[in-house]
């Protein structure tokens, strides 16, 4: 966030950090490798071999400095308040990384004989049980590699369930208008068409619209609870009943589970399938877009369709042993192996260290923090749904828009105060939406600072809107030309000198 010194003197190199291929000098190398300790073998015919390998040639210190300096251009949970709605950017305990790097866990091969990986299998089995307990469902599979893949697995299980019953006409999945984009995209990948269900002025699902859409063509409903409006749908049990009455299944997108840990289980509410985002609720780091993990939990009547593999316990002589199994009518293999084990390991550590009491406390604090923001900001930002929120609160910048300032401008101005902006323009059903999820790992002091900044920005929006329109002012780059990026795609290094 510093201006490079020497910009005026002309000594400053091109803005930004020089790309690897432009740093490259023939003869440099950034890693050492052992000498060949066996007699060299005959190479295959020349026409099979590569002549040119256009990779950079950079020394080790250059690689380290380059990527370290790149890292310094990021906001992150470790460095900034990051209230990005629906993303649950909570603190990620450091020791989990050490556990994931532990010899005997980090370095084992996915295809080793099962008798040589009993420790890992047992850990996976325990995690399966824990997440089933949290979801209130019977069985689970840890194999799905991210939230959207968990959704796809859920959709495919709906498909398999209906086909198995000879119910071939169910081609429609119902999705609330406030849903994440992944829900309709996953439904389409599963071969379904999508019917959107509106919400009421109070932010609950429109039961009449749902009832009239609930037909024998409906395979199921995909719903996020709390909704992306940050609200707990007060008719959720009726919703599940309506869907079940028409023969459909209820799928829960677990993106917002951080509100409900230990408070209520989705299974008890009537859900049939739930996916959990371990990289949100269960505190594994998001990595700038993964790795995540999106395990799925299902009610007993769907267990036979779970994605492969699942871990089973069995008894061999007197010992408890574990093995991989493919459920009888599995929708198939989700990825090449058994799931993102390194992520699963971190989630295991999280659940074990928090325990039942800690998980419940986490959700209570998450909901408390969000409601605190709601009550302290509602006089300056429009609250489209005037009721208690759960773990996140959705405001609208409608008041500010009247003066020419948009949600985007508010978001960009927050960057100048070292705060990552809330999710903007989502859900699509709220005008100029600002969706704020503080999480439970932020202190009251941080929330108070955020409140002060948000109030200050609202004031600026009235008094000096140009400050917001030109924001951010103190970041490594200012607003970027996204239209140009899409119109003239520059997606890889090219030799610009030649």
Partner 1 sequence: MEGPGPSWPYLPNTPSDRQEMLRAIGVSSVEDLFADIPDELLNPALQLPTPAAELDVRREVEALARQNASPGGYSYFLGGGAYRHFIPSLVGRITSRGELATCYTPYQPEVSQGTLQATYEFQSLVCGLTAMDVANAGMYDGATALAEAVLMACRVTGRDRAIALDTLSPRYKRVIETYVRPQGITVDMVPFTVPEVPDDAACLVAQYPNFLGNIEDLAFLERKAHEKKALLVVSVDPIALGLFKSPGEYAADVVTGECQPLGIGLSFGGPYVGLFACRERYVRQMPGRIVGRTTDSQGRTGYVLTLQTREQHIRRERATSNICTSEALVATSAAIYLAALGRQGLRRVAELCYHKAHYAASLIREVPGYKLPFQAPFFKEFIVQVPAPVKEINRRLLDRKIIGGLDISDLVPNGMLLCVTEMNTKEEIHALRDALAWAAREAR
Chain positions 390 to 449 lying near partner 1, rule: CB under 8 A, are 390, 411-412, 415, 420-421, 423, 426, 440-444
- Taking Cα atoms as reference points, which of 413, 465, 462, 403 lies closest to residue 434? 413
Q: Nearer to partner 1 by C-beta: 283 or 396?
A: 283
Chain positions 94 to 113 lying near partner 1, rule: CB under 8 A, are 95, 97-113
Strands ordered across the beta sheet of 218-224: 139-141, 296-298, 273-276, 249-254, 218-224, 172-176, 193-197
Phi, psi of 268 (to 5 degrees): -65, -25
Chain positions 458 to 477 lying near partner 1, rule: CB under 8 A, are 470, 472, 475-477
Are 174 and 211 a contacting pair, CB within 8 Å?
no
Are 220 and 274 a contacting pair, CB within 8 Å?
no
Region of 86-94, 244-252, 397-405, 452-460 interacting with partner 1 (CB under 8 A): 86-94
Q: Nearer to partner 1 by C-beta: 20 or 383?
A: 20
CA–CA separation, 321 vs 473, rounded Å? 59
The distance of closest approach from Cβ of residue 212 to partner 1 in the complex, given in angstroms and rounded to an integer, is: 21
Region of 143-151, 205-213, 244-252, 296-304 interacting with partner 1 (CB under 8 A): 143-151
Q: Nearer to partner 1 by C-beta: 400 or 423?
A: 423
Out of 273, 347, 359, 435, which residue is the one contacting partner 1 (CB under 8 A)?
359
Residues ≥6 apart with Cβ < 8 Å to 354: 361, 362
The distance of closest approach from Cβ of residue 13 to partner 1 in the complex, given in angstroms and rounded to an integer, is: 11
**Is position 296 an interface residue for partner 1 (rule: CB under 8 A)?**
no
Mask 16-35, x = binds partner 1 (CB under 8 A)? xx-xxx--x---xxxx-xx-
The distance of closest approach from Cβ of residue 247 to partner 1 in the complex, given in angstroms and rounded to an integer, is: 19
CA–CA separation, 231 vs 246, rounded Å? 25
Q: Nearer to partner 1 by C-beta: 359 or 462?
A: 359
The distance of closest approach from Cβ of residue 328 to partner 1 in the complex, given in angstroms and rounded to an integer, is: 16
- Taking Cα atoms as reference points, which of 479, 476, 392 lies closest to residue 4? 476
Count CB neighbours of 354 within 10 A.
18
Are 424 and 434 a contacting pair, CB within 8 Å?
yes
Out of 176, 230, 285, 427, which residue is the one contacting partner 1 (CB under 8 A)?
285
Q: Nearer to partner 1 by C-beta: 360 or 398?
A: 360
Q: Nearer to partner 1 by C-beta: 47 or 318?
A: 47
Token couple for 256: 């917002």
The distance of closest approach from Cβ of residue 253 to partner 1 in the complex, given in angstroms and rounded to an integer, is: 11
CA–CA separation, 213 vs 174, rounded Å? 8
Chain positions 153 to 192 lying near partner 1, rule: CB under 8 A, are 156, 159, 180-182, 184-191
Token couple for 446: 């941080």
The distance of closest approach from Cβ of residue 448 to partner 1 in the complex, given in angstroms and rounded to an integer, is: 10
CA–CA separation, 82 vs 101, rounded Å? 26
Cis preceding-peptide flag for 226 (omega within 30 of 0) = yes
Q: Nearer to partner 1 by C-beta: 354 or 462?
A: 354
Chain positions 196 to 225 lying near partner 1, rule: CB under 8 A, are none
The distance of closest approach from Cβ of residue 294 to partner 1 in the complex, given in angstroms and rounded to an integer, is: 8
**Is position 380 an interface residue for partner 1 (rule: CB under 8 A)?**
no
Query: If you search the block for the tokens 């498909």, which residue do you land on?
Result: 159
The distance of closest approach from Cβ of residue 82 to partner 1 in the complex, given in angstroms and rounded to an integer, is: 7
Binding-residue total with partner 1 (CB under 8 A): 204
Out of 3, 6, 12, 70, which residue is the one contacting partner 1 (CB under 8 A)?
70
CA–CA separation, 173 vs 194, rounded Å? 5
Residues ≥6 apart with Cβ < 8 Å to 434: 85, 381, 394, 395, 396, 397, 407, 410, 411, 421, 422, 423, 424
**Is position 12 an interface residue for partner 1 (rule: CB under 8 A)?**
no
Strands ordered across the beta sheet of 433-436: 393-396, 433-436, 423-424
Length of the chain: 498
Q: Nearer to partner 1 by C-beta: 99 or 467?
A: 99
Are 200 and 398 a contacting pair, CB within 8 Å?
no
The distance of closest approach from Cβ of residue 209 to partner 1 in the complex, given in angstroms and rounded to an integer, is: 18
Query: If you search the block for the tokens 């005008």, which residue do you land on?
Result: 431
Out of 140, 178, 258, 265, which residue is the one contacting partner 1 (CB under 8 A)?
265
The distance of closest approach from Cβ of residue 282 to partner 1 in the complex, given in angstroms and rounded to an integer, is: 12
The distance of closest approach from Cβ of residue 342 to partner 1 in the complex, given in angstroms and rounded to an integer, is: 4
User: How would you classify the pairing of strands 296-298 and 319-325?
Assistant: unpaired
Chain positions 299 to 338 lying near partner 1, rule: CB under 8 A, are 307, 331-338
Q: Nearer to partner 1 by C-beta: 7 or 431?
A: 7
The distance of closest approach from Cβ of residue 224 to partner 1 in the complex, given in angstroms and rounded to an integer, is: 14
Are 205 and 197 a contacting pair, CB within 8 Å?
yes
Q: Nearer to partner 1 by C-beta: 78 or 386?
A: 78
* Residue 308, strand partner residues: 333
Q: Nearer to partner 1 by C-beta: 38 or 166?
A: 38
| b/e code 153-162 from CB counts within 10 Å (16+ = b) | bbbbbbbbbb
**Is position 3 an interface residue for partner 1 (rule: CB under 8 A)?**
no
């Amino acid at each position: 966030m510093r201006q490079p010194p020497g910009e005026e003197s002309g000594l400053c190199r091109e803005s930004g950090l020089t790309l690897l291929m432009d740093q490259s000098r023939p003869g440099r190398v950034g890693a050492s490798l052992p000498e060949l300790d066996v007699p060299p073998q005959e190479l295959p015919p020349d026409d099979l071999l590569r002549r040119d390998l256009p990779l950079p040639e950079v020394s080790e210190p250059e690689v380290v400095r380059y990527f370290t300096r790149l890292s310094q251009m990021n906001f992150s949970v470790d460095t900034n308040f990051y209230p990005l709605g629906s993303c649950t950017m909570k603190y990620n305990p450091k020791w989990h990384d050490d556990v994931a790097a532990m010899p005997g866990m980090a370095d084992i091969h996915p295809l080793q004989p099962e008798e040589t990986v009993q420790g890992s299998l047992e850990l996976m089995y325990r995690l399966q049980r824990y997440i089933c307990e949290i979801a209130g469902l019977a069985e689970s599979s840890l194999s799905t590699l991210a939230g959207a893949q968990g959704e796809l697995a859920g959709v495919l299980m709906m498909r398999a369930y209906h086909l198995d019953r000879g119910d071939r006409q169910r081609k429609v999945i119902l999705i609330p208008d406030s849903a994440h984009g992944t829900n309709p995209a996953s439904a389409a990948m599963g071969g379904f068409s999508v019917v959107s269900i509106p919400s009421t002025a109070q932010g609950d699902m429109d039961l009449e619209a749902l009832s009239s859409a609930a037909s024998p063509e409906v395979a199921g409903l995909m719903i996020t609870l709390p909704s992306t409006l940050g609200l707990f749908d007060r008719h959720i049990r009726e919703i599940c009943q309506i869907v079940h009455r028409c023969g459909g299944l209820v799928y829960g997108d677990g993106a917002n589970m951080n509100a409900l840990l230990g408070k209520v289980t989705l299974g008890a509410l009537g859900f049939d399938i739930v996916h959990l985002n371990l990289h949100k609720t269960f505190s594994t780091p998001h990595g700038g877009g993964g790795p995540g993990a999106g395990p799925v939990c299902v009610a007993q009547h769907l267990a036979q369709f779970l994605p492969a593999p699942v871990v089973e316990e069995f008894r061999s002589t007197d010992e408890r042993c574990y093995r991989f199994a493919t459920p009888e009518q599995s929708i198939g293999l989700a990825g090449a192996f058994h799931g993102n084990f390194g992520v699963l390991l971190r989630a295991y550590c999280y659940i074990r260290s928090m325990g039942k009491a800690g998980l419940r406390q986490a959700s209570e604090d998450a909901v408390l923090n969000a409601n605190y923001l709601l009550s302290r900001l509602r006089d300056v930002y429009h609250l489209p749904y005037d009721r208690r929120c759960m773990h996140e609160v959705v405001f609208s910048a409608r008041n500010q828009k009247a003066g020419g300032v948009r949600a985007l401008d508010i978001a960009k101005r927050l960057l100048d105060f070292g705060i990552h902006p809330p999710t903007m323009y989502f859900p699509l059903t709220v005008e100029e939406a600002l969706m704020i999820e503080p999480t439970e790992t932020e202190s009251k002091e941080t929330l108070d600072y955020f409140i002060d900044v948000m109030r200050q920005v609202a004031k600026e929006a009235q008094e000096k809107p140009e400050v917001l329109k030109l924001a951010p002012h103190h970041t490594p780059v200012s607003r970027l030309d996204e239209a140009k990026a899409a119109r003239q795609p520059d997606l890889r290094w090219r030799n610009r000198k030649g």
